[in-house]
Amino acid sequence: MSLNFLSPLYLFGILGIVAPILIHLLTRQKKKYLRFSAVYLLMEVKNRCTKRSTPNRFFLLFIRCMAIILLSIAMSNPIFSFNTSNNFATNNPSANVFIVDDSYSMGTQVNQETYYSSAVKTVLEIIQSLPNASIYTVVSGSSSGRILQEWTDAPGKIKKILETSQPSVRTTDIGLAIKQALRLLEPVSKKNKHIYILTDRDRNGWDKNYPSALETKIQHPLHIIDFSEMRSGVNQAAVTRSEVQQEFLNNHHIVKVKIKVANLLESKLINKLNVSLWIDGKKKIGGTIDIDADSSAEKELSFPLQSNDFLNGEIRIENDSLITDNIRFFSHQPDQTIKTLVVDGDPNTVEHLSETFYLERALNPFDSSHSNIELTFSTPGELSRLNLSDYSVMILCNLQDLPYGYEQELEKYSLSGGALFITLGDQINTKFYNEKLGGILPVFLKAIHTTTKNKEPFRFLIQPSKHPVLNIFKGKALQEMKSITFDTIYSIEAREGTNYTTPITFKNEFPAIIESINGKGKVILFTSSIDRDWNNFPIQPTFLPWIQRWIKYSARGLDSHLKKNLLIGEPFYLQKSSEKPTVYITSPNGKVTYPSSINGKIEFQDTDTPGVYKIYQDPNNFSTRETSTILPQLPYGAELIGSFNVNIDPIESIPGKISNDEIKSLLPETNITFSSGYQKLNVKKTGESRAISTFILILMGIMLLFEGWLVRKE
Amino acid sequence: MDKKITLDHNLEVFSRIASLKIHTTKLVEGLLSGHHRSQNKGSSVEFADYKDYSPGDETKHIDWKVVGKTDKHQIKQFEQSTNLKATILLDASGSMGYESTNPKAIKKMDYARTLVAALSYLFLKQSDSVGLYLFNETITTPVPARSKPTHFKYILHELVMLTPQGATKLESVIESLAKQLFGRGIIVLVSDLLTKETGIEKKLNLLATRGMEVIIFHILDSDEVSLPFEGDIVFESLEDDSSIGLNPDDIRETYQREIQKKIKYYRSLCSNLGIDYIFLETSTPLEQGLTYYLSRRKNPGKR
């Protein structure tokens, strides 16, 4: 047990007891002695008589002195602890590094206090118990590894820094903090050096590669103070994922948000956990979710778009003891058009003879943006001058082959989320497709099949489908599709080890559409031509919705070639050519950054706040900077061009704790002592580690009331 | 009993003896005299009757005037004074030395001293023999009974020389005294009766059943009755080393009840045993005590 004081100077107030003592001495009555005959009778009577008409003046003095002492103690902000922090105290001044785990899990609340605030109090207690002339420094125990306070011998500085600090949203990284501590201790001349780690011992914060990862052996005593035992409130659930998809398949503009929520309780099912979706701070939709113990469940929340404004969204679940992991941010730009690059492999000066003539009319029928598909036409020769990352979908129409080495660009584009829609025709160099596009196409082009005039042409095998593209073709539309005839088609053969589906086939069971996933992008292969050379499909009324839906469907990973979802602390990168306007990034807290750009690569490091970061460009400015700059506001005329989300790493929410033995095995030959932060601050449990000042003040008040009553009685 | 009595010739002692004697003499002379008469007839100064001479009678008692007138040998008969033996027991324990906080009040020991002297003077004046026994835990100073008028000065001397000390052990004192006293007589006990002893009743009964006339003068200071003190006081015992600190306010009522209970007890006890019990507070004029005694002697049947 120990009693420590955060403001010990107030203890000098105890000297105030001199006042009542002096008053007592000056006003005391000299004790009278009387020789009396019937003392034995007085004794007998006194034993039977309990009445005390006058208070004992010493008792009154005691009460008054105690009241002053209690007031001084209360003012000095005492902290009582059963597990004395003097365990760490040495007689000689020492150098002490406090590694305070400020990961977001330390924000777990226990009786209106967080682990972090308890850790702060413990640091102050320990400092209080250390001899004068000791020096202290405080290092963050999260992945930032920041030095919160450089070496100082003034406990007041530490107190000021820590009491105004908050847990970060980062994950625990004890190794980084120990490295930092060792670096700090190295030049210190004091003999006694201590490292204190105040943590909730989240397993993810301990590197299995210790001690090699630390580079240096820990030669100083290491004190680990655990706050995980303090958990009385339970962090029951965390949102671990949120993905936005806009339904492009119809014009209803439905936005779907897929969420994943983890049940962090090892043996308790969560029933009807409230989940809600918020847009721009307003609740849009809510629901509940059931999650089995120690597992995760997914749910899809969808809502119709009412405008094409940028969506700044949050997924929230009901609060538990750790609020930080109950929110996950997402963003969406609904009015984003699908930028589509059409590469015409058989261009013709006569417009309607061009391979892409019907495609263009189908995808952009009114030469306006109603379809949300913005077409750019190119020839194979022009491809090398284009930046593929500007396009969400690339349609290769009857393309004989690609410029030398361009297949690698195409593969990279597809892997990073670009959609490829490939149509065939008479220009196709089968050898090129089969040999060079192995990384993209899951099939070999086997042979061309043509029907003669007397024979039945190829037709779609029409049957109701659940495929997202085809499920709208029902009834009359389905019947209409039966009339589509194909003269020529390619047969295919699967490549080894590839996966693909055939959403629609011909009646002879030859695939009409091959669909596959390549990295983050979709690859769609149409085994006939997109013009009228091999079929009459382009002049059929179903062609327009059919091709539009395939393009929109393939563009589902529209923005995925930009890494949109980052974790706290992860840098954001963006390729930018010198011809492109200047980019600005606004943080969720409103800070505007002019990010640095080196060799056309924009780098943004300041992702320490969870939320949606918006990317703007200034069409009137084409400059770049090598160092990042904070701007007071966005330049006039800057346009929103995109966004990315920064969320906390859910790994920190996983309840697994590293044990003493595991730590010892990770750090062999290190003098480690373990203690419980819960025991250190258990005062509140037995009445409010919370500081006992209030209790002492109440006691003092009671004493003064009692004193007043005694005096009044006298 | 026949212990030789010596006198202290110190001038101061003489002075105090003289003072006590004058005070006592005045006190007694001022009261009734001759109340103490014997019912037996014998040789005395007052004529009672004649009787015929018979051989063996002393010839000096023949009234020759009667012989001359009647020619009969008549012998005068006189009322004979009793040869009463009075034994005064004076408590000389420490508790008797209590001195009141009121400077004008008479000290308890002085009160007792005067009372004893007055009684002694009275006895001697009536030709009774008087003995004085001072006691605390034991009999400390025995003055054997004598009827000579000069015996008074010995009694006064012992009274003056008395210094109260020691604890009161009344039981053992009465027991030892009972062994020494023979025949009928008066025993006068002057004491504050402040003792923890519980067997006094038996001892007094012992005296009463042996035909002795017992008179108890129970003397207490007014302070001892009312406990009038104020403030925190450490009371130190006059008889031993015990002490107690308290505020009399806290116990006054209980104490007063207790002391009255004791007085009542002794009064009741004495009444039952046929003992005269006279309670005297030092604030009570001493004459009252003596008056009571004398009236008692005048009317022996009256109790």
- DSSP calls for A49-93: ----SS--HHHHHHHHHHHHHHHHHHHT-EEEESS-GGGG--SS-
Distance CA A146, CA B85 (A): 115
Contact A41 B258 (CB under 8 A): yes
Helices (H), A352-441: 357-363, 406-415, 430-436
Find, in chain B, the residue whose alpha carbon is nearest to that of A57: B232
Euclidean distance between the first and final Cα of chain B, in Å? 31
Q: Low-confidence residues of chain B, pLDDT below 50?
A: 1-3, 32-44, 80-81, 301-303
pLDDT at site B2: 44
Contact B224 A44 (CB under 8 A): no
Distance CA A362, CA A364 (A): 6
pLDDT at site B3: 46
Distance CA A663, CA A670 (A): 10
**A38 in contact with B at a CB cutoff of 8 Å?**
yes
CATH class, range A565-651: mainly beta
| B136 three-class SS | coil
Contact list, A54 vs chain B (CB under 8 Å): 232, 247, 249-250
Segment A10-33 mean pLDDT: 84
Q: Is A417 left (phi over 0), alpha (psi -120 to 50) or beta?
A: left
pLDDT tens sequence across A367-389? 554 567 888 888 888 888 888 88
Contact A33 B254 (CB under 8 A): no
Strand-strand pairing, B213-220 and B276-281: parallel
Burial environment of residue A341 by CB neighbours within 10 A (0 to 12, 13 to 18, 19 or more): buried
A706–chain B nearest CA distance, Å: 20
**B259 in contact with A at a CB cutoff of 8 Å?**
yes
SS (H, E, C) B6-19: CCCCCHHHHHHHHH
Angle between helices A18-27 and A57-75 (to 10 degrees): 170
In contact, B297 and B236? CB cutoff 8 Å: no
**What element of type H or E holds A244?**
strand A237-247
pLDDT tens sequence across A569-624? 888 887 665 556 788 899 998 899 988 887 777 888 888 889 989 888 887 777 77
| Single-letter residue type at A310 | F
Distance CA A344, CA A441 (A): 19
User: Could you say which residues from 181 to 210 on chain B have a Cβ atom under 8 Å away from some Cβ of chain A?
Assistant: 192, 194, 196
In contact, A640 and A585? CB cutoff 8 Å: no
Considering only CB atoms, B238 lies closest to which of A29, A37, A45, namely: A37
Burial environment of residue A695 by CB neighbours within 10 A (0 to 12, 13 to 18, 19 or more): middle
Contact B242 A41 (CB under 8 A): no
B236–chain A nearest CA distance, Å: 5
| Single-letter residue type at A234 | V
Considering only CB atoms, A32 lies closest to which of B192, B233, B237, namely: B233
Q: Which residues of A104-129 are buried (b: 16+ CB within 10 A; e: fewer)?
A: bbbbbbbeebbbbbbbbbbbbbbbbb
CATH code for the structural domain at A237-332? 2.60.40.10
Higher pLDDT, B123 or A682: B123
Q: What are phi and psi of A623, to 5 degrees?
A: -85, 165
| Single-letter residue type at B89 | L
* CB-facing half-sphere around the CA of A163: CA atoms within 13 A: 10
Q: Which residues of A519-553 are buried (b: 16+ CB within 10 A; e: fewer)?
A: bebbbbbbbbbbbbbbbebbeeebbbbbbbbbbbb
CATH 1.10.287.130 fits A338-557, yes or no: no
Contact B235 A36 (CB under 8 A): yes
**A30 in contact with B at a CB cutoff of 8 Å?**
no
**A306 in contact with B at a CB cutoff of 8 Å?**
no
In contact, A286 and A274? CB cutoff 8 Å: yes
Distance CA A253, CA A259 (A): 19
**What element of type H or E holds A585?**
strand A582-586
**B55 in contact with A at a CB cutoff of 8 Å?**
no
Contact list, B236 vs chain A (CB under 8 Å): 33-36, 39
pLDDT at site A81: 63
Please state the domain extents for chain A. 2-77+697-713, 92-233+662-690, 237-332, 338-557, 565-651
Tokens of A556: 């589902």
Share of chain A above pLDDT 70, in %: 87
pLDDT exceeds 80 at position A540: yes
Please state the domain extents for chain B. 11-34+83-298, 41-79
pLDDT exceeds 60 at position A323: yes
**A27 in contact with B at a CB cutoff of 8 Å?**
no
DSSP assignment, residue A581? Answer: P
Spatial strand order of the sheet with A94-100 comes to A147-152, A135-140, A94-100, A192-199, A222-226, A672-676
DSSP assignment, residue A644? Answer: E
Share of chain A above pLDDT 90, in %: 12
Tokens of B135: 């006691």
pLDDT exceeds 70 at position A53: no
Q: Provide the mean pLDDT of chain A.
A: 82
Contact A41 B243 (CB under 8 A): no
Considering only CB atoms, B236 lies closest to which of A35, A48, A49, namely: A35
Closest by alpha carbon to A255, among A333, A316, A201, A342?
Answer: A333
In contact, A345 and A396? CB cutoff 8 Å: yes
For residue A51, what pLDDT band results from cuts at 50, 70 and 90? low
B103–chain A nearest CA distance, Å: 14
Cis ω on the peptide bond leading into residue A211 (within 30° of 0)?
yes
Sign of CA dihedral B255, B259, B262, B267: negative
Distance CA A693, CA A699 (A): 10
pLDDT exceeds 80 at position A213: no
pLDDT tens sequence across B5-57? 555 555 565 566 566 665 556 665 555 444 444 444 444 455 667 778 887 77
pLDDT tens sequence across A133-168? 889 999 988 877 888 888 888 888 888 888 888 888
ipTM above 0.85, yes or no: no
pLDDT tens sequence across A249-282? 444 567 888 889 988 887 888 888 899 999 888 8
pTM summary value: 0.46
Contact list, A44 vs chain B (CB under 8 Å): 258
The total of other beta-carbon atoms located within 10 Å of residue B276's CB is 17
**Placement of tokens 């006939």 in the chain:** A528
**B229 in contact with A at a CB cutoff of 8 Å?**
yes
Contact list, B243 vs chain A (CB under 8 Å): 39
Find, in chain B, the residue whose alpha carbon is nearest to that of A56: B232
CA B202 vs CA A70, A366, B161, B171: distances in Å = 62, 140, 32, 8
Closest by alpha carbon to B218, among B272, B260, B171, B158?
Answer: B260
Find, in chain A, the residue whose alpha carbon is nearest to that of B243: A39
| B259 three-class SS | helix
pLDDT exceeds 70 at position A399: yes
**A53 in contact with B at a CB cutoff of 8 Å?**
yes
Segment A310-315 mean pLDDT: 86
For residue A84, what pLDDT band results from cuts at 50, 70 and 90? very low
Angle between helices B108-125 and B286-298 (to 10 degrees): 30
pLDDT tens sequence across B136-154? 988 888 888 888 888 888 8
CA A410 vs CA A65, A190, A386, A396, A420: distances in Å = 87, 62, 12, 11, 9
* CB-facing half-sphere around the CA of A96: CA atoms within 13 A: 29
CATH of B11-34+83-298, one of 3.40.50.410, 3.10.50.40, 2.40.160.40, 1.20.810.10: 3.40.50.410
DSSP assignment, residue A6? Answer: S
DSSP assignment, residue A31? Answer: P
Distance CA B227, CA B223 (A): 5
Burial environment of residue B135 by CB neighbours within 10 A (0 to 12, 13 to 18, 19 or more): buried
In contact, B145 and B86? CB cutoff 8 Å: yes
**What element of type H or E holds B23?**
helix B11-29
Segment A432-452 mean pLDDT: 90
B215–chain A nearest CA distance, Å: 23
Contact B235 A39 (CB under 8 A): yes
Q: Do the first three CATH levels of A237-332 and A338-557 match, i.e. the same topology?
A: no
**A404 in contact with B at a CB cutoff of 8 Å?**
no
A61–chain B nearest CA distance, Å: 16
Secondary structure (DSSP) of A305-331: -SS-SPEEEEEEE---S--GGGEEEEE
* Superfamily of segment(s) A92-233+662-690: von Willebrand factor, type A domain (3.40.50.410)
Residues 6+ apart with CB under 8 A from B25: B121
CA A404 vs CA A378, A381, A389, A408, A432: distances in Å = 17, 10, 19, 9, 11
